[in-house]
Amino acid sequence: MVSPAIALAFIPFLLTVLIKYRYYILLFYRAVLVRRLQDLITGRSREDRAFQYVFTHALPGNAESILDTFDHWCTKIEYLSNIGPKKGKVLDRLIGDMAPKTVLELGTHCGYAAVRIARLLELGARLYTVEMDEENGRIAEKIIRLAGFDDDTVELINGHSEDVIPQFRERFGVDHIDFVFMDHWKRCYLRDLQLLEESGLIGKGSIILADNVIFPGAPHFLRYIKSSGLYQYRIHRATLEYFPGIRDGMAELTYMGTT
């Protein structure tokens, strides 16, 4: 057995670890433990619980109300990894400044970012948003329609990004994508960026915004954009959505093409 003296000696170390990693511990508690407990109690997914809350508390047809209600749920009730309001301002600014005609989102999840983008699109512009999980896709579709956007503005595509991107031009008749927002599996960022390059869907001046490049992180993606010579880039330093104590960042890329 461990003697009391040895056990006491570990207390300062444990306290140091708890203090240093308190935000990550809280994230694990909210994102994993609370989620599993609520899944068990309610018999519904976290995404469905979020939809039910938004459906009963937000104003239909009002995108700002949808977003505010989502933010309240994620901050006060259960954690959900939307882009959130703070990093969302970077997305808002880029969409507003660029006024893209064609936008591709990889990783719809519950539709938060899709609503955020769609509310700023000019007349005639279109967002294509890709979600691999069919159940999440159904929930996102309901959120997007609840916010007042129809198929002519937002088209939701259920499928894997590595399958959708190579077929995108032929399937949707799109020759050029002005703006790409990446917020799906971080390990897929580099693969999908290269697929976009190979397909010719992005051209000189196309902008790619990738979330969570610091936490959880996308190191291979970052190394590539820094070394490829194809992009002008900047990292927007931020914190994890709804967790101000965890450092994160977004990569903004402007495709310059080959010389």
Catalytic residues: 183, 186, 211-212, 241
Chain centroid to CA 237: 16
| Strands, sheet with 231-240, edge to edge from the N-terminal-most edge strand | 154-158, 126-131, 102-106, 179-182, 207-210, 243-255, 231-240
The CA distance from 20 to 202, in Å, is 42
Compute the distance between CA of residue 167 and CA of residue 128 in angstroms, rounded to an integer. Answer: 13
Whether cis (ω within 30° of 0) applies to the bond prior to 244 is no
The amino acid that residue 209 corresponds to is L
User: Within 10 Å of residue 222's Cβ, how many Cβ atoms?
Assistant: 19
Structure tokens at 70: 């989502």
Tokens 């259920």 belong to which residue?
158
